Structure 1
Amino acid sequence: MSTLPAEAAQGAPAEARPWALACLLLALAGALFFSSYGFANWLASQRQDVPSVFFEWERGIPFLPWTIVPYWSIDLLYGLSFFLWRTRAALLTHVKRLVLAQLVSVACFIAFPLRFSFERPQADGLPGQLFTLLGGFDLPFNQAPSLHISLLVILWVAFAAHVTGGWRWLLHGWFALIGVSVLTTWQHHLIDVPTGALVGWLCVYLFPLRLPAVDAAAPDARTRRISRRYALGAAIALLCAVLAAGASVTLAFLLLWAALALACVARIYALAAPAWFQKDSNGTMAPAACWVLAPYLLGAFINSRWWTWRAPRASQIADGVWVGRFATRRELRALGVNAVLDLSAELPRVANGRALAYRCVPVLDLTVPTAGQLEQAVSQLDQWHAEGRRVLVSCALGYSRSALVGAAWLARQRGLSDAEAALAALREHRPAVVLSPEHARTLQGWLDSLPTMEPA
């Protein structure tokens, strides 16, 4: 199997593979797995009545004894995963993901025990032997979230980072089969699968191998205030999820997912750290961030469309330069642009194409870009404009973050040294922008830092 040194691609210094540490951590993680998992199973077995949560149509899911083989294979993959990593830091990150998944899942098993409710048919041959072995330590409890699925997500991400070429298709196929096997071996009900996947993606999100290098301001009163609002939203969504559990498991799960996403966004604003959206300079958001934050991302996109429904979606501020909302592929084609300068931290790139240049300078929504972020964005816009590209400068609505960059660029193009004059020049082309006195102060500070120069 060909492998790709994922950690080396991230600029990690060359070092000897941590074989000894991998062996030690594997032993400790194995002890934690069997002891905590077994304890939660035993504790549930002591209860008089452990409920089940399932849909009636699940009785139609076929029992396929042979799928116990891929089901069991995750144990082998779990052990091998400790020896994938070339650096100590990457190994420790992987182990943190596994341990967090274990702790979160076991805590749920203890707090909200569930049991598998169908009687499994007898199996013969090798599958029968494997089921007998499994039944020796795995009682019909420890259901939601499925720890099997949580570990599957973490291991899938780990192996996919090291496998290239045609082996990736084999890898994806086998891991998908493992995912299906939790149902076809009658080990789990359906609700256990998405809850387990969410826990797995949360662990990958919270422990990334690296975060994008992003210029950002320190937390202030504004970001803390926004953080509290998102935290309140998360608490309300969580309460609604608890209240909805008795009426609709599906609705309860979706509300729980929304609560988790809002809690993560609250943390991002509390830290004033757009890097935790895990969106790189090319506009691509890490898969873990996309999955964990999906309810928020969907809401952010809908919000951008709601507020700009009847407004101009993009305004031309100079020859070959537009300022506007976060654009879809269709909107980019309609404008005829071939470069996008994206100021949004919270919206993953949707437009692609070989001829499309893309640069993201992520700025948190409802905040003011820093002088450093302004300089990065204006310098990129200068370069593309000099190359003759047709550029869209965008953020969620096109009213604030991108508008400030547009004003800064116009000021440098025209040799303006006054922020109010630059903002007035922008408003000539895009009157509906929303720029506060704080935006003007930031722009003035950036202009004052520039060397005296003639208009471009």
Structure 2
Amino acid sequence: MGLGISRLIGLKATVLFLAFAYLRGLGLTLLPVPLLFASVVDFLVSIASHPSINLPLFLGKSTDGILPLWSRILFGPFLYFVRIFGWLRRLRSKEPPYTEICEGLYVGGWPYSVDTLPPGDPAVIDCTCELPRSEVIMRNAYLCIPTWDTRAPQPGEIESAVGWACRKRAQKRPVFIHCAFAIGLHKMAAIVDLLKPGLVLFVGHGRSVAVMCALIVALGMAEDWKNAEKIIQERRPCIRMNALHRKSLEEWSKHRLSSKRTDELGVSSVILSAASGSSRSKS
């Protein structure tokens, strides 16, 4: 299982630190300082995004999707790197900003403008921890499930998102689930492989797709998350879920099935208890 963003940002931190050390070796004093600061920030992000820690709240994104001023200052080198890389990615990409998977269900990237937001005043589920709530969706119904890029929402977070989305669909509102445009893709993966052979870099769209898989199952449009993934893949071929996303969906599915069995057993015991009481009263 690759470490995805943790290794990628850790590699970037190492490069920045080496650049700092090289410039200091040339006798420069003030010029290399920003490189040292950016290196330290990236090392911290690399640690916080490691699978064994996985702390997306580290960046301080609030439940209403706002990145506070202290976070934008302290983690600026990482946050603005993500924004710039995403902007460059969009310039070269022919991928649509969103795709309708089923009627009223959309999945896509960060909605940075009105034309990148699906029609119909959709309820929005934001799966990013590194991007702020877009100004475009400030008036939309909104739920944040903060997740690192290449990481997966926890099963409980998936269930919360699914329940929220199902309530919005019951109100006949479309639902848009988004993460960010991938910060890697094939060219970045090739570069990283040259720098560090054997490093597995998960790239593609996974966080939002994992939640969409669960939602499709919950709405009865697919038998299980694997079939849901195939449905999404047919409509949005660029999706790339990794082992972490699939593991989280598998755990969500098991919990959902066990909950159903518990509910059924509860109903059955009530029926049996009522029937037993009825027979005793007749006797």
TM-score by length of 2: 0.71
Asked if 1:440 corresponds to 2:219, the answer is: no
Q: Residue in 1 aligned with 2:99? A: 315
Where 2:176 maps in the other structure, the secondary structure is strand
Matched residue of 2:126: which SS? Answer: strand
Counterpart of 1:204 in structure 2 is: none
Number of the residue aligned with 1:198: none
- Are residues 233 and 354 of structure 1, via their aligned partners in 2, closer, same or farther at CA, if it must alter by over 3 Å? closer
CA contact under 8 A between 1:337 and 1:390: conserved in structure 2?
yes
**Secondary structure in 2 matching 1:393:** strand
What does 1:45-194 correspond to in 2, within 5 Å?
Answer: none
1: CA distance, partners of 2:215 / 2:31: 47
Q: Residue in 1 aligned with 2:280?
A: none
Amino acid at match of 1:235: T
Pairing 1:236–2:15 present: yes
Distance 2:104 2:30 in 1: 48
RMSD: 2.9
The alpha carbon displacement at 1:284 in A equals 0.8
Within a 5 Å distance, the mapping from 1:382-393 to structure 2 comes to: 382-393=166-177
SS in 2 for 1:428: helix
Q: For 1:380, which of 152, 156, 164 is the aligned residue?
A: 164
Moved more, 399-408 or 239-248: 239-248
1:403 equivalent to 2:206? Answer: no
**Count of residue correspondences:** 232
2:36 alignment partner in structure 1: 256
Q: Which residue of 1 aligns with 2:112?
A: 328
Q: 2:73 matched to 1:294?
A: no
Corresponding residue number in structure 1 for 2:234: 428
Whole-Å separation in 2 of the counterparts to 1:427 and 1:231: 31
- Structure 1 residues 363 and 443, CA, compared in 2 at 3 Å: closer, same or farther? same
The alpha-carbon distance between structure 1 residues 226 and 430, as it changes in their structure 2 partners (threshold 3 A), is closer
2:152 is aligned, of 357, 361, 368, to 368
Instruction: Say which of 51, 54, 62 aligns to 1:272.
Output: 54
Aligned mates of 1:307, 1:408 — CA distance in 2: 28
User: 1:354-382, CA deviations, whole angstroms, 9 ceiling, x for partnerless residues?
Assistant: 63222110111111222112112212211
- Aligned residue among 322, 347, 354 for 2:131: 347
Structure 2: runs of 5+ lacking an equivalent = 183-204, 264-283
2:114 counterpart letter in structure 1: R
CA pair 229-354 structure 1, distance change in 2 beyond 3 A: closer
The gaps in structure 1 that reach 5 residues or longer are 1-220
Report SS of the residue matched to 1:323: strand
How far did residue 328 of structure 1 move? Answer: 0.7
1:63-106: CA deviations, max 9, x gaps? Answer: xxxxxxxxxxxxxxxxxxxxxxxxxxxxxxxxxxxxxxxxxxxx
Amino acid across the alignment from 1:233: K
Q: In structure 2, do the counterparts of structure 1 residues 354 and 274 end up closer, same or farther at CA, with 3 Å as the change threshold?
A: closer
1:336 positional shift: 5.1
Report the CA distance shift for 1:247/1:337 in structure 2 as closer, same or farther (over 3 A).
farther
> Quick one: structure 1 residues 336 and 307, their matched pair in 2 at CA, closer, same or farther if it must change by over 3 Å?
farther
Q: Distance in 2 between matches of 1:432 and 1:314?
A: 11
Residues 147-200 of structure 1 show CA distances to partners (whole Å, capped at 9, x for unaligned) of xxxxxxxxxxxxxxxxxxxxxxxxxxxxxxxxxxxxxxxxxxxxxxxxxxxxxx
Separation of aligned partners in 1, 2:41 and 2:117 = 32
Contact 2:112/2:136 (<8 A) preserved:
no
TM-score by length of 1: 0.46
Distance 1:334 1:411, change over 3 A: closer
Instruction: Say which one has the larger Rg.
Output: 1
What is aligned with 2:194? none
For residues 310 and 248 of structure 1, what CA distance do their matches in structure 2 show? Answer: 43
Q: Which amino acid aligns with 1:400?
A: G
Aligned to 1:227: 6
Higher relative contact order (CA 8 A, sep 6+): 2
Deviation track 1:215-252 (CA, whole Å, cap 9, x = no partner) reads: xxxxxx755x7535433432321231243356877752
Amino acid paired to 1:341: I
TM-superposed CA distance for 1:254, in Å, is 3.3
Quick check: 2:124–2:140 contact (8 Å CA) kept in 1?
yes
Q: Structure 1 pair 279/226, CA: closer, same or farther in 2 (3 Å)?
A: same
